[in-house]
Structure 1
Amino acid sequence: MIKGSCHCGAVHFEVRKPLEWITECNCSACRKLGTIWAHADESEIDLTYAEGATLSYVWGDKTLAFHSCKTCGCTTHWLTLDKAEVPRMAVNMRLAEPAAVANIPVRHFDGADTWRYLD
């Protein structure tokens, strides 16, 4: 299990599944947010925050909502807006302790062009 939180501690997460890798995406949003994602089904991640503690940002094809803490501004997670598909989400592993993710491989995803992993 890997835990993380935003800078002020208003948003916490726990990833309950073993991670084979984490993903660094080069799309314009992920690149500018500086995120590295752990993807999972919503049932495999616990998010804890008070109602109204995050701001959501939806852009492009409007399939994802990026959430950031209203207090400290850290981007914490994204949720899929298309619940007809598998309810996927991701949490920002830059908010976990570095030692907790040090041995997890980082895969690079080309979200800017090909929508494929570059490795």
Structure 2
Amino acid sequence: MHQGSCHCGAVKLTLPSTPAVATSCNCSLCRRIGGPWVYFEYGTVRIEGHPEHTTEYIQGDRTLRTIRCRTCGCVTHWEPTDPQPGAKHGVHLGCFDPALIASVRVRKFDGADTWKFFDEMPSSSEPPSTA
């Protein structure tokens, strides 16, 4: 089990398993609050201090609420506004030990434009111009 917290410790998170992959997103919100993010089935991450020590931000299509600590302001996770079976929970990996962060492969996601991982985007087959 991996345990993490916001900076002041009011919100504590326990992951249900060791993540293998995380996502670094460049959408308008993630590029401001950072990451990387790891995902688990909604309800499988144990969160202590939520909602009594947290506040939320809901943007855009209003499907996700981004949660942060009321005291220190650290973003800890996001959750669906209307959880359905199979829904995902995003957890900010920055709230955990740096050794865990270093052990996880981080994939870069283009949430600002294409909604694809950069390593899945087609690349040009032409060599760069030397002119």
Q: Report the TM-score range of the alignment, normalised by the length of the smaller protein.
A: over 0.9
| SS across alignment from 1:39 | strand
Structure-2 separation of matches of 1:11 and 1:86: 24
Q: Give the structure 2 partner of residue 48 of structure 1.
A: 48
TM-superposed deviation, 1:15: 0.9
Gaps of 5+ in 2: 120-131
Q: Give the structure 2 partner of residue 82 of structure 1.
A: 82
Letter in 2 for 1:68: R
Q: Give the structure 1 partner of residue 98 of structure 2.
A: 98
Structure-2 separation of matches of 1:51 and 1:28: 25
- Displaced runs of 4+ in structure 1, greater than 3 A? none
Letter in 2 for 1:76: T
| SS across alignment from 1:106 | strand
TM-superposed deviation, 1:102: 1.1
Q: Give the structure 1 partner of residue 59 of structure 2.
A: 59
Describe the shift of the 1:26–1:52 C-alpha distance in structure 2 as closer, same or farther (beyond 3 A).
Answer: same
> 36-45 vs 3-12, which deviates more?
36-45
| SS across alignment from 1:43 | coil
Q: Give the structure 2 partner of residue 73 of structure 1.
A: 73
Gaps of 5+ in 1: none
Structure-1 separation of matches of 2:89 and 2:113: 21
Q: Taking structure 2 as the reference length, what is the TM-score of the superposition? A: 0.84
| SS across alignment from 1:72 | coil
Q: CA RMSD in A?
A: 1.4
Structure-2 separation of matches of 1:46 and 1:23: 20
Identical amino acids, percent of aligned pairs: 39
TM-superposed deviation, 1:66: 0.1
Q: Are 2:3 and 2:15, in contact at CA under 8 Å, matched by a contact in 1?
A: yes
TM-superposed deviation, 1:20: 2.0
